[in-house]
Amino acid sequence: MQIPARLFHGYRAFVDTRLPLEKSRYWKLAETGQRPEVMVICCCDSRVSPEVIFDAHPGELFVVRNVANLVPPYTPTGLIHGVSAALEFAVQILGVATIMVMGHSHCGGVRAFVDHRGRTVPGDFIDSWMSLMAPAANAVGDADGATGPAYLSVLEQASVVTTLGNLLTFPEIRTRVEAGRLHLLGAYFDVGSGDLSFYDPGTGAFALVGQAAGQ
């Protein structure tokens, strides 16, 4: 079996440096189980790691990653729904207090949605998955010819807002949100600058962390 050198050396660095600092935490997590307070739904883009961005320790974040950080609406069809299963586990079993949807700049999934619009030979999986972005695109405005960075950024952020709406189609999530036991957050990470913005439902806009109310 051939292990890529990057993985081998990365693991050795973990064993030599971080594991000694986190060993008691790992033992406790193994003995008592995980109890993260925050669930993060983010893109599988290799440049966007929530554990790194939020300087998280093991057991602090329950992370679900997929192309373009999407959540399908509540559809109990009996088919296999990976994201929905993760949501059910996080909310009903782990009892997370916050669900954060984090989009990001330069998203390949969003670019695929824009570039693939109207193509006659759709892909086996990506086009079907990215069709979940159609409501966000409609909210932004039907700009068939728009492909520039500014449009893509607006669409990336609009998709986060649409996904927050999709979360509220889950009865258990809506019930807990209305009771104040669960909070939904929308976030947007700029890959180039490292800036992080949060969605403000009151203004309908994203504000940088340093500009957020109360900070």
Mean pLDDT for the stretch of residues 163-175: 98
Mean pLDDT for 195-208 is 96
Q: Give per-residue burial for 115-126: e unless 16+ CB within 10 Å, then b.
A: eeeeeeeeeeeb
Q: How far apart are the C-alpha atoms of 146 and 117, rounded to whole Å?
A: 11
Q: Which residue has the tokens 């050198």?
A: 5
Say yes or no to pLDDT of 168 above 90: yes
pTM of this prediction?
A: 0.93
Q: What phi and psi values does residue 88 have, to the nearest 5 degrees?
A: -60, -40
Query: Which segment, 112-116, 143-147, 207-211, is predicted with the most confidence on average?
Result: 112-116
pLDDT at 143: 57
Contacts of 155 (CB under 8 A, 6+ apart): 110, 113, 114, 133, 136, 137, 140
Residue 214 has a pLDDT of 47
Q: Give the tens place of pLDDT for each residue, 64-106.
A: 999 999 999 999 887 889 999 999 999 999 999 999 999 999 9
pLDDT of 211 over the 60 cut? no
Which pLDDT score, from 0 to 100, does residue 205 have? 96
Closest C-alpha to 209, from 184, 180, 185, 192? 185
pLDDT at 78: 79
Residue 73, amino acid: P
According to the model, what pLDDT value does residue 212 have?
47
Q: Of the candidates 6, 115, 203, 118, which has an alpha carbon nearest to the alpha carbon of residue 186?
A: 203
pLDDT in tens, 114-145: 988 878 787 789 999 999 999 999 999 855 55
Confidence of residue 146 (pLDDT cuts 50, 70, 90): low
pLDDT tens for residues 43-61? 999 999 999 999 999 999 9
Give the per-residue pLDDT at 213: 45
Q: Delineate the domains of the chain, giving CATH numbers in brackets.
A: 1-33 (no CATH), 34-211 (3.40.1050.10)
Q: Does residue 149 carry a pLDDT above 50? A: yes
Nearest to 39, CA basis, from 59, 53, 67: 59
pLDDT score recorded for residue 77:
85
Question: Is-contact 17 51, C-beta < 8 A?
Answer: no
